[in-house]
A and B are shown apart, each in its own frame.
Chain A
């Protein structure tokens, strides 16, 4: 177990190192002067000079990289080109909104999708099973921004039940929660479909296993057989899926954040790419990668905790 953790953390560091290298290389592989690229064509000579000095662009490339990597290790992701605020601070302000949106979106998808998948698996080919089947495919197939726009139009504009944009007043929790509902709904709907399909398929497979027959032959209550035995095994692949889902949060939240004009990492990344604010983009990409690796590792550890065979193989 200890050995496994060391190995995984070592691999994670290697992946992050690779991402650091690539995001660094990005600035240098684009043809032209990095300072001009970073600051845009209309930057004054003075700004370019200041930027060149600050980014050590006059140094050899390998030294630049070492300086950059060294800064990353000490937690310094550079400064915003325009406001000169530390990138870590900017990311810190935004990351909470994205995590809240992701947790709410995936959270409700888990709470609805997994039971729905169980129900569908227990009564295969019933009306409920067919309905969830069609709905799942529908919600998976429709892009989440379409759902976002439609729900915005319906619930915020036409019915006026919920606020349309922003993240709510700081410090006002009910208002913030009200602002979370629509984006979380739009983000999670596709996941309801994913999760229910996944749980249905693996539960159906597990229900055919000999040990489920054995549990029935020992007269265990149906509830215990389904939730204590079958789901215990069937949930494992779904956990991997949820881990990947959380890991890929940024790419899935970007639409919701842009459409609902919510602050967050996705929106930040979108804005900063448009504004060519390179240090912030680099920082956000790094944090995103770190989040991804952390969530996938976390889901692997949960699986190891639930499945003794995996635990022993570590």
Chain B
């Protein structure tokens, strides 16, 4: 075993708040071996980011380090002066950030940003620095780096930006690379590419990596060692295989159980971790997880456990660690059957024979001046789909695939340029808002940004009752309705008096569900209903949605990029790429045997939360092409591993299989 490169001992950090100190980190200790990839995994509020910023000495102004040491190559970073610490940053240690959209300054070119990072290398000329920067851009896979380095961040797509972010972090050849949720802002196919890029480059440049993430798949795919954090404490740490196959702390077990990607059998009821994080302004005296632990005893509540080490490197902080093996997929949960099976014969609730949405990209005069014949892009192109009563259709695609635009066009929030939308057999496309308004009672929307879609100046009570006010149902007792809905979505009534900023992500989602349900709709269009939620809460919301579907016979159109989730809650799937639907069919069938190469790439693109299922290479290279220059042949041809000449020349038409599966591909996989 290598000597630890980074050794954190007893790190204790408080945050000063107007209501008193919050004990964010308590006695955090773990080691990062040299030339390894170590992951810190935890949900929001676990303190994993605080650890990262402590190492860099960039904690916010209200943070106080109470105790502890951060030994980096034997030197305590906490005892270093600000100048010495700054000298280490961007030289000995460097960072890849979570959101490349926000962490790169928009007004400077990459060349300038990268030259700035190398400012300490006085012996290098400006030309030398540029050469180094271009080389690093090439290494991370940016095409034509000598030209693109003079561009600004907004000229790069999301995936390319994160590549550039990695290039910037590795440019000074740091010995320690910190990565803060490096793929959270990226699509599935991009995520896989970035994971492999960081891993490969770290090996090549002999860099030690510490990655922070809530994504178990990423941790399993990328890391050699894992540290599990909960509510500001390290609860378990060890080699990655030990942790995923032999987890000993009940929290780690619960976290693994919650991950929908680890549940191989389809289930309508996802596991959750009951309860919520303890209040860290007054952490419990005993075990931090005791309140939510199914096995907790009085002893657990009275006395905090100390770390027990087994097998040399696997440490766990629990009085009664689990001993039996944790095999991925322990189907403890029984599949709840559909109370009302989708009826096939009747008129479908929502039927879209075909629908097109075009957006103008430039004004008519400018288009003429620039010689652009067609100043439009097709955001949604000849898309057809059907949602039956009581059914959930999952609409899956990466960002820019047009899935949200399609949802908005169905709800008459975006004008469709051609096609037809039939709701209960009635044509509703582009109806004037006055004629459409009554339909909004039957079709509700759950927005992607749960907190952002709630007016910050209204109480939860007013927000839940708002649909009644809008639709003129004021004769009802609004208070009673708000309480009924709050009960329905299992939101404690005490929350009715609060404002959106006082809600957690999961609570805000519940408010969103309550608002969507207020007028007893028949169809709910849910745009990324679990975006930004922790796995333990994600299950809660999905279970609630499934329960309401059973009770009320609701239909859902679920718009998402999260495949493991959509698998468990959808009856059928529609896969979208560049505004077109490339495959539709039964969810289970598609998962077991994808027909379109893109579907396959998506299904296999999700990193598996099992270190034994690591991939050697990302399933898909390249990026989604711009809608402005749609390929002549198949839209996917440029990225498809199976593409032939025919694919590049001729657009594939949709063909229907015996089992009802529709695939738009010249050479389908089945």
Contact = CB atoms under 8 A, between A and B. Distances in A.
Interface of A: 3, 209-211, 213-221, 224, 228-229, 232-233, 306-309, 312
A213 B116 contact: no
Given A224-B116, A309-B152, A214 B107 contact: no
B89 interface: yes
Given A217-B58, A218-B117, A218-B168, A211 B94 contact: no
Given A3-B366, A210-B102, A232 B107 contact: yes
Contacts of A221: 86, 119
Contact of B90 (A3, A210, A217): A217
A3 B369 contact: yes
Interface of B: 56, 58, 86-91, 94-95, 97, 99, 102-109, 116-117, 119-120, 152, 154-155, 168, 172, 366, 369
B180 to A, nearest CB: 9
A233 B106 contact: yes
A216 B97 CA distance: 12
A194 B58 CA distance: 32
A206 to B, nearest CB: 10
B154 A214 contact: no
Given A224-B119, A308-B152, A216 B58 contact: yes
A219 B174 CA distance: 12
Contacts of B97: 210, 214, 217
A229 B102 contact: no
A220 B107 contact: no
Contacts of B108: 229, 232
Contacts of A215: 105, 116
B189 to A, nearest CB: 24
A216 B89 contact: yes
B102 A211 contact: yes
Contacts of B152: 308-309
Contact of B86 (A210, A219, A312): A219
B605 to A, nearest CB: 26
Contact of A228 (B89, B99, B102, B116): B116
A215 B106 CA distance: 13
Contacts of B103: 210-211, 213-214
A211 B105 CA distance: 5
Given A210-B97, A224-B119, A309-B154, A219 B102 contact: no
A299 B87 CA distance: 39
B106 A309 contact: yes
Contact of B95 (A214, A307, A312): A214
A220 B90 contact: yes
B106 A213 contact: no
Given A213-B58, A219-B89, 7 more contacts: A3-B369, A210-B102, A214-B95, A218-B89, A218-B94, A221-B86, A224-B119
B176 to A, nearest CB: 12
Given A213-B103, A214-B103, A312 B154 contact: yes
Contacts of A219: 86-91, 120
Given A219-B91, A220-B90, A308 B107 contact: yes
Contact of B154 (A218, A229, A232, A308): A308
Contact of B104 (A211, A217, A306): A211
B105 A229 contact: yes
A209 to B, nearest CB: 7
- Chain B CB within 10 A, most for which of A209, A213, A219, A308: A219
B87 A210 contact: no
B369 to A, nearest CB: 6
The 9 lowest CB-CB distance pairs between A and B, nearest first, are A219-B90, A218-B90, A219-B89, A210-B102, A211-B105, A210-B103, A308-B152, A214-B103, A217-B95
Contacts of A209: 102
B106 A308 contact: yes
Nearest to A228: B116
A220 B299 CA distance: 50
A308 B106 CA distance: 8
A306 B89 CA distance: 28
Nearest to A4: B366
A224 B116 CA distance: 9
A307 B109 CA distance: 11
A238 to B, nearest CB: 14
B250 to A, nearest CB: 35
Nearest to A216: B58
5 contacts: A211-B104, A219-B89, A220-B117, A229-B105, A308-B154
Contacts of A220: 90, 116-117, 119
Contacts of A233: 105-107
A270 B107 CA distance: 44
Nearest to A229: B105
Nearest to A306: B107
Contacts of B369: 3
A209 B107 CA distance: 13
A221 B104 CA distance: 17
A209 B99 CA distance: 11
A312 B104 CA distance: 17
Contacts of A216: 58, 89
A229 B108 CA distance: 8
A233 B108 CA distance: 10
Contacts of B109: 308
A216 B499 CA distance: 34
Contacts of B168: 218
Nearest to A307: B107
Nearest to A3: B366
Contacts of A228: 116
Contacts of B104: 211, 214
Nearest to A222: B86
A210 B86 CA distance: 17
B68 to A, nearest CB: 21
A222 to B, nearest CB: 8
Nearest to A311: B152
A224 B120 CA distance: 13
B102 A217 contact: no
Contacts of B90: 217-220
Nearest to B169: A218
A99 B146 CA distance: 46
A228 B105 CA distance: 10
A229 to B, nearest CB: 5
A216 B108 CA distance: 16
B97 to A, nearest CB: 6
A85 to B, nearest CB: 44
B185 to A, nearest CB: 11
Contacts of B107: 232-233, 306-309
Given A232-B107, A233-B107, A217 B116 contact: no
Contacts of B89: 216-219
B16 to A, nearest CB: 15
A217 B56 contact: yes
A233 B106 CA distance: 8
B170 to A, nearest CB: 12
A209 B104 CA distance: 10
- Chain B CB within 10 A, most for which of A213, A214, A218, A309: A218
Nearest to B104: A211
A233 B105 CA distance: 9
A43 B340 CA distance: 96
A160 B103 CA distance: 56
